[in-house]
Amino acid sequence: MVRAYVTVTTVTETSPDIVVELRELEGVKKADIVAGRFDIIVEVEADSHQDLLVLITEKIQAISGVGRTNTCIVLE
């Protein structure tokens, strides 16, 4: 099992809608709007690194309004 935290920067005023979509994705354990450098932090889990890649590149980044993501894979 691979876990990661994904930070998301969004287009202006789209964070509430994006969080709703993120929370519906399989593999997303938690998604929260935050203040600071990023707009949303997402906790994700996948069976493999390949599944994690698909979740981030084909599902999270495909959501309308998602600008940039940054992935931090959990090592421990």
pLDDT digits (tens, 9 = 90+) for 15-27: 999 999 999 999 9
Question: How far apart are alpha carbons 16 and 14 in whole angstroms?
Answer: 6
What CATH number has the domain spanning 2-73?
3.30.70.920
Question: What is this structure's pTM?
Answer: 0.94
- Residue 48's pLDDT is what? 98
Q: String of b and e for 47-70 (b: at least 16 CB within 10 Å)?
A: eeeebbeebbeebbeebeebeebe
Q: Sorting pLDDT into bands at 50, 70 and 90, what band is 12?
A: confident
Question: How far apart are alpha carbons 42 and 31 in whole angstroms?
Answer: 4
